[in-house]
Amino acid sequence: MRLILLGPPGAGKGTQAQRLVQKYGIIQLSTGEMLRAAVAAETPVGLQAKDLMANGSLVPDKIVIGIISDRLDQPDMKNGFILDGFPRTVPQAAALDELLKKKHIKLDAVVELRVNESALLDRVEARVAEMRARGEEVRIDDTPEVLAKRLANYRTLTEPLIHYYSERRKLLTVDGMMTIEHVTREINRILSAIGAVEPKGGAKAAAPARKAMKAARKTARPAGKKAAKTARKAPKTAGKAGKAASRGVKKASKKAGRKVASAVRGGKAGKAKKTGKKAVGKASKKVTKKRAKR
């Protein structure tokens, strides 16, 4: 699973990212943490970033992309990732698309947590008031004034990404004003709907059902063909009866297939093959009896 979470400051991206990490065993990629790790490891890209960071300069997108590229090559990325804090602009998104294309990595979805900005400001004001009432120190970056500036930056720089990813059919929108639990459930639901995650039980649990379905189909096909062949060999004088029998076989075979599929979906993978044999055999006998009467 490879995701990007979008949303303004305070939308709950960090909380939902951690829940996805814990549930699916994927890695949360924070550009800030990756930069610090690359500098500490003294990688070629990290050394370039080190000088810029030491001077208080912004790290260019090219270097950030290089650090992401190095990180994507590491073994722990096989299960997927969530990008946190990147991309923030349309040019960054385009550069990321190019990088993923070169590495033959498919981005599954961009999940937007849509929230009411005025409600976010109300939340911060209430939280700050409660902290001050308890005599706690309020962080300098956790005030309505700072949040208002961050929201303005988001609207200018990052919000255009919603249109960018919507055009590429990658955007999935979730109501971020719901409770944390409801948001989590909705994200999991839409990820399952688009096939970004395995159904409950995983691939191993689904394998027996697929195997049983395949075996049952193999059993049903020869039996159905045999019955149809018998019907085609009916005397010419019974031409109408032969056609009716053939139609009956086709109809019975379809019915048998539905029974097999129903058995598999119901979790009875071990009985699916027997169901196929029994249904087709019964259908063939029924057609033979009808032909004899005619």
What pLDDT score does 226 carry? 54
φ/ψ of 115, rounded to 5, equals -135, 165
pTM of the model: 0.62
Does some domain include residue 37? no
Does some domain include residue 254? yes
Number of neighbouring beta carbons within 10 Å of residue 210 = 13
Does some domain include residue 162? yes
Number of domains in the chain: 2
Does some domain include residue 40? no
Are residue 189 and residue 208 in the same domain, yes or no? Answer: no
Burial of 12 (0-12, 13-18, 19+ CB in 10 A): buried
Check if the beta carbon of residue 54 is closer than 8 Å to that of residue 110.
no
What pLDDT score does 203 carry? 44
Per-residue confidence in pLDDT tens, the chain, 294 aa? 999 999 998 888 989 999 999 999 999 998 878 888 888 888 888 888 888 777 767 788 998 899 899 999 999 998 899 998 889 999 999 999 999 999 999 999 999 999 999 988 888 888 888 888 999 888 777 788 888 998 999 999 999 999 999 999 999 999 999 999 999 999 999 999 988 876 544 444 444 444 544 554 454 455 445 544 554 554 444 455 445 545 654 565 555 556 544 544 554 445 444 555 555 456 555 545 555 555
Are residue 87 and residue 163 in the same domain, yes or no? Answer: yes
Does some domain include residue 36? no
- Find out whether the peptide bond into 87 is cis, omega within 30 degrees of 0: yes
Of 169, 193, 217, the domain-final residue: 193
Longest dimension (CA), the chain: 100
Beta bridge partners of 173: 112
Structural domain span for residue 93: 2-26+79-193
**String of DSSP letters for 30-72:** EHHHHHHHHHHHT-HHHHHHHHHHHTTPPPPHHHHHHHHHHHH
CATH code, 147: 3.40.50.300
Of 156, 171, 193, the domain-final residue: 193
Does some domain include residue 35? no
Are residue 113 and residue 175 in the same domain, yes or no? Answer: yes
Catalytic residues: 13, 88, 127, 139, 150
What pLDDT score does 91 carry? 95
Are residue 246 and residue 138 in the same domain, yes or no? Answer: no
Does some domain include residue 272? yes
Are residue 177 and residue 251 in the same domain, yes or no? Answer: no
Question: Could you give the CA distance from residue 166 to residue 182 in angstroms, rounded to a whole number?
Answer: 23
Of 134, 166, 193, the domain-final residue: 193
Give the three-state DSSP class for 28.
strand
